[in-house]
Structure 1
Amino acid sequence: MMGQLSSGQERLFYSFNIEDHIPANHLLRNIDRCLDLSDLRHYLADFYSPIGRPSIDPELMIRLLIVGYCYGIRSERRLCEEAHLNLAYRWFCRLSLEDEVPNHSTFSKNRHGRFRDSSLFRWLFNEVLRRCMDAGLVKGEGFAVDASVIKADASRQRGVPGNEEINWSDPSLSTRAVREYLEALDEEALAEALPKRLSLTDPLSRWTAAPGGPAFFAYSTNYLIDVEHGVIMDVEPTPAHRTAEVESTKTMIERVEEHFDIKPDRLIGDTAYGTAPMLAWMVDEKEIEPHVPVWDKTERKNKSLSISDFQWSEKAQEYRCPTGHALRSEWRAFKNQRSHVTKADTIIFRSRQTDCSKCSMKERCCPNTSFRKIARSVHEAARNVARRIAATPQYVCSRHERKKVEMLFAHLKRILKLDRLRLRGMTGANDEFTLAAAVQNLRRLAKLTSQGPPATG
């Protein structure tokens, strides 16, 4: 017999418990077991007035934001609508069927106020990371670092050439992102790295075509992860520029060492992190093994002799060519001693013109010049350390482990839907990247702890 929906209300009262309708293996239930916000109110106590009308519970707003990032709900207006309808979201946020969901404008008000003033999202990230460490998901032996470009909330049409004069006092440009740019503006640094185009909407974003295709304004999110289980140890926003991305590695490693007393034995990265100054920082200052390809533009692709064909003598501080002739930084003594260090932090070693003119290998060595010269980095010792490590089996293993960072970026963009920022300015990028990284760690913690304790070995 065909059934039929009943029409009208049959009962005035219902016995309903949200707890009974949330599956035991639901993602939010697993995350809730791992999330501890008991210290949140104490942490924010100094940023709330002791008198006046009670505010919305900050834990409720944090839980709502976690839901939004977990399920890729980028709009806070839509997040509030979904939380009103979804039983699992209500359960996770400790809302009963009768409780009202906060208005979406509440998030903006608190984000630009007490949340940023208190660095709340950084506190949340650190708390989640501590729980990952307590669960045994962080080994601390090997870290990997990488950056991923995220589009800024800035239109291409609102960009101007970088060398164009701009009237920043124009009222139409008086936005939070512009004020942040002007406060952080360093004229000397700006002159050294003048961007090709500048966004009038979000001036701190960087014009880039790094991913391929048409250029756009963007920021970079930089991840430092522990390769044991892919836990994010730190996150740092930068403009989408290679130099800024590499320098952020120092900030992240030192911050992890300061807050958690953890310093890795080895650091894994791609060629961008293999510059001579960066390798020297890892080897000489931090005593970290650089599992990084050396950034080397000296090797020649034709049949002429490369630097590797010359033998270096540490004792004599000179190179020897294949025919035995010397290349030195100076061939005569100067009254005033010279360092011979160039602006590029290199020392130029030159051969004698008389030696090269009679050499049988001149056409392979220096066919277009009268003598051969070699630029040796002042950090060549650190570069040699990286080259020796690159010949070890552990380096091959590190190359495979580095893919865990790229997997996190793919998860960030495809699952969490963070392929374009909603907030502007460096603080906006910092808020989004930090909260997203905290949620990724929460998801990893919930997944691994629900499967039992990680294997040790």
Structure 2
Amino acid sequence: MMGPKQEAQAALFYEFSLEDHVPQDHLLRSIDRFVDLGSIRKYLADFYSHTGRPSVDPELLIRMLLVGYCFGIRSERRLCEEVHLNLAYRWFCRLDLTDRVPDHSTFSKNRHGRFRESELLRHLFETTVARCIEEGLVSGQRMAIDASLIEADANKQNSTPKEEWNASNIDPAEAPRAVREYLDTLDEAAFGAASEVQPKFTSHSDPASQWTAARKGPAFFSYSDNYLIDTDHGVIVDVEATRSIRQAEVGSTKTMLKRVKERFDLHPERLIADTAYGTGPLLGWLVDRRIAPHIPVFDKSGRNDGTWTRADFEWDAENDQYICPEGHALKQFRRNYSDPNRGPTGKGTSRYRALKEVCQVCPSKAKCCPNADARKISREEHEDARQDARDIAKTRQYELSMKLRKKVEMLFAHLERILGLGRLRLRGPCGANDEFLLAATAQNLRKLAKVFPAPQQTRKA
């Protein structure tokens, strides 16, 4: 039999509890156990006036932002609508049914003001990392690093070719916020000072973003999201926004390793990365700090004509010379210099040469230097560190490290596909940094919730 038609009937009184209507296995219940915002008000105290109208609770704004980034709600206007309608979101944000949700414009005012001035989002991220360490998810022994391109909120139609771009003609007083941030980062190693090469195009709306075709497809403006993770459970221990060029991404490695050492006293015994990070200066920097580089060496010394490569020559460190397969010596200097300015400098690239008369009568000249009078070999400044990395690449631990490196790539896939951060919504270096920090915080909170889910309560009969 068909039941009666359902009609809404207004009641004079309601007995309603948000706590009873949020499922026990809801993700936000597990996340809420690890969100510690008790220190935010004290942290921001110096950035609020002691007079005037009371502001929106900063803890409420942070909780709403965490909801947005945990569930891929990219628009703050839509976020306010979702928090208004969703009971679980209201419960997490400590809002009752009758409490009003803040206006979306409140986020912009606080983000561009006190949140950035106080570096609150960095503080929030590091608080989450500290909780991961406290829960035993981070050992600090093995770390991996990588970068992912995130499309900027810019397009080619509103850009200028490098031949016509001149930053000195910009008036900071009349420039938009993203342009002023671009001018402030011209001397920073992560942005303007990372490379002297000018990009092919510069965006008018976000000039700090990099025009790149690194994905082997149509070029676009982007920023690089750099992650330093602990490979035990894939926890992100640091994050940095840079230009989308190799020099800036590699340079961020030093910045993040120094920061985790200072903030959390984490000093890894090995660092795992791909070939882009296998440059001599970075390998030398890691070896000097007793960090084993589990990184493929970025090496262009190989030859494709079948002749002997540098790897076929034996290095004699004691006598500062190479020994060729025929047993002849290749030396950098063959006499002592009385003038120290004419001797070896110890910097840059050194070149080792064999004697011309030896190479001319050598039976293996066709395999060694068929088109030259004598064989020459270049040796980088950090060749010892590069050789250490080559030796590590022959070990079983290195094979395990290459498998563990996939954890950081999985985090980037999760960032784009689950959290929806395929394109930035905020502009400028500060906007990119804000989004990357919030996204990394959300990923760490989701990791904690996955490893330590909220205990399930049995329902009453």
TM-score (norm: length of structure 2): 0.94
Task: Please report how far the alpha carbon of residue 326 of structure 1 lies from its aligned counterpart in structure 2 after TM superposition.
Answer: 1.4
CA distance in structure 2 between the partners assigned to 1:339 and 1:444 by the alignment: 56
Q: Distance in 2 between matches of 1:287 and 1:166?
A: 43
SS at structure 2 position matched to 1:177: helix
Structure 1 residue aligned with 2:100: 100
2:166 and 2:256 map into 1 onto residues whose CA distance is 34
**Correspondence for 2:394:** 391
Q: In structure 1, what is the equivalent of residue 180 of structure 2?
A: 179
Is the aligned partner of 1:326 residue 2:356?
no
User: What pairs up with 1:69-88 in 2 under 5 angstroms?
Assistant: 69-88=69-88
Deviation at 1:193, TM superposition (A): 2.4
Corresponding residue number in structure 2 for 1:349 = 352
Q: Which amino acid aligns with 1:411?
A: H
Could you tell me which amino acid in structure 2 is paired with residue 251 of structure 1?
Answer: T
Contact 2:156 2:201 in 1 (8 A): no
* 1:170, distance to aligned residue in structure 2 (A): 6.7
1:143-292 to structure 2, matched below 5 A, reads 143-166=143-166, 168-169=169-170, 174-186=175-187, 189=193, 192-284=196-288, 286-292=289-295
**Map of 2:382 onto structure 1:** 379
Cα deviations by residue, 1:322-351 (Å, 9 ceiling, x for unpaired): 1122111123333313354598x2100011
**Structure 1 stretch displaced more, 120-129 or 316-325:** 316-325
Partners of 1:15 and 1:299 lie apart in 2 by 77
Alpha-carbon distance between aligned partners in 2 of 1:135 and 1:22, rounded to the nearest angstrom: 26
Q: Taking every aligned residue pair, what percent have the same amino acid on both sides? A: 58
Alignment partners' CA distance in 2, 1:423 and 1:8:
43
Compute the displacement of 1:215 (Å).
Answer: 0.8
- Where do 5+ consecutive residues of structure 1 fail to align? 453-457
Q: Is the 8 A contact 1:340 1:348 kept in 2?
A: no
- Partner SS state of residue 28, structure 1: helix
SS of 2:452's partner is: helix
CA distance in 1, matches of 2:378, 2:278: 17
- Cα distance in 1, alignment partners of residues 184 and 141 from structure 2: 39
Query: Aligned partners of 2:368, 2:450: CA distance in 1, in Å?
Result: 59
In structure 1, C-alpha distance between the alignment counterparts of 2:58 and 2:105, rounded to whole Å:
14
The 1:81–1:14 alpha-carbon spacing in structure 2 relative to 1, beyond 3 Å, is same
Call closer, same or farther: CA 1:83–1:278 in 2, change over 3 Å.
same
AA paired with 1:375? S
For the 8 Å contact 2:194–2:248, the answer to whether it is kept is: no
Map of 1:43 onto structure 2: 43
Residues 93 and 314 of structure 1: CA distance in aligned 2, closer, same or farther (over 3 Å) = same
Query: Within 2, Cα distance between the matches of 1:342 and 1:90?
Result: 64
User: 2:409 aligns to what?
Assistant: 406
Give per-residue Cα distances to partners, 1:114-154, cap 9 Å, x unaligned.
00000000000011111111111111110000000000111
Gaps of 5+ in 2: 456-461
3-state SS of paired residue (1:102) = coil
Are 1:136 and 2:136 counterparts?
yes
Bigger drift between 321-330 and 148-157 goes to: 321-330
Q: Distance in 2 between matches of 1:124 and 1:219?
A: 22
Give the RMSD, CA atoms, in angstroms.
1.9
State the number of aligned residues: 450
Look up the match of 1:444: 447
For residues 251-272 of structure 1, the C-alpha deviation after alignment (integer angstroms, 9 at most, x for no partner) is 0010000011110111100011
Aligned to 2:11, what secondary structure does the other structure show?
coil
Write the distance in 1 (CA, Å) between the matches of 2:228 and 2:195.
Answer: 30
